[in-house]
């Protein structure tokens, strides 16, 4: 299933993240990819807010991973932008975090893992639409029934 949404502002993208959070459960893994400045972190900050996290979400550029608590468990935000080249997930020692069944995990620039991600996940792509300022194209792509159902519920909310 594929959902394509046009966002006209950072506020709208944050709101989408917040709405999306309501279909998530511990163990869910989301990979966010696309243009630099496309809105991945903005979306994740809305998502975290939706989970009830009060702290401001900033990109974990140097640490690669930030973790937060929310009522149902742990929320993990990874940003692999600074990884040098393609790396295997076990080489970067993050299996415990990224495959944790008790955490909701969002990974920015997960493509740096070179396709070695072994766990079921949802892809969201963020692209500039150069014709209009602040416009972004956000595409949700599910590959199985589990994520299809979540995207259907998400579509009903937005």
Ligand X SMILES: Nc1ncnc2c1ncn2[C@@H]1O[C@H](COP(=O)(O)OP(=O)(O)OP(=O)(O)O)[C@@H](O)[C@H]1O
Quote the CA–CA distance of 128 and 136 in Å, as a whole number.
5
Structure tokens that stand for 108 in this block: 């920015």
**Contact between 39 and ligand X (CB under 6 A)?**
yes
Sign of CA dihedral 123, 102, 94, 39: positive
Q: Choose between 87 and 134: whose C-beta lies nearer to ligand X.
A: 134
Cβ distance 20 to 50 under 8 Å?
yes
The item of ligand X, Mg ion, none sharing an interface with residue 33, based on CB under 5 to 8 Å by kind, is: none
In eight-state DSSP terms, residue 41 is H
Of 7, 13, 59, 66, the one binding Mg ion (CB under 5 A) is: 59
Of 38, 46, 60, 110, the one binding ligand X (CB under 6 A) is: 38
Of 72, 87, 123, 134, the one binding ligand X (CB under 6 A) is: 134
**Contact between 41 and Mg ion (CB under 5 A)?**
yes
């Amino acid at each position: 299933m594929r959902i394509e949404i046009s966002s006209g502002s950072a506020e709208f993208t944050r709101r989408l993240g917040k709405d999306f959070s309501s279909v998530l459960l511990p163990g869910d893994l989301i990979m966010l990819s696309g243009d630099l400045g496309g809105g991945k972190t903005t979306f994740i900050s809305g998502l975290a807010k939706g989970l009830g996290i009060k702290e401001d979400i900033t990109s974990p550029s140097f640490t690669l991973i930030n973790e937060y608590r929310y009522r149902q468990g742990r929320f993990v935000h990874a940003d692999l932008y600074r990884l040098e080249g393609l790396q295997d997930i076990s080489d970067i020692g993050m299996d415990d975090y990224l495959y944790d069944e008790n955490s909701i995990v969002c990974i920015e620039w997960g493509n740096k893992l070179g396709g070695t991600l072994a766990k079921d996940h949802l892809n969201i792509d963020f692209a500039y639409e150069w014709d209009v300022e602040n416009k972004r194209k956000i595409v949700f792509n599910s590959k199985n029934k589990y994520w299809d159902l979540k995207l259907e519920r998400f579509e009903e909310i937005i």
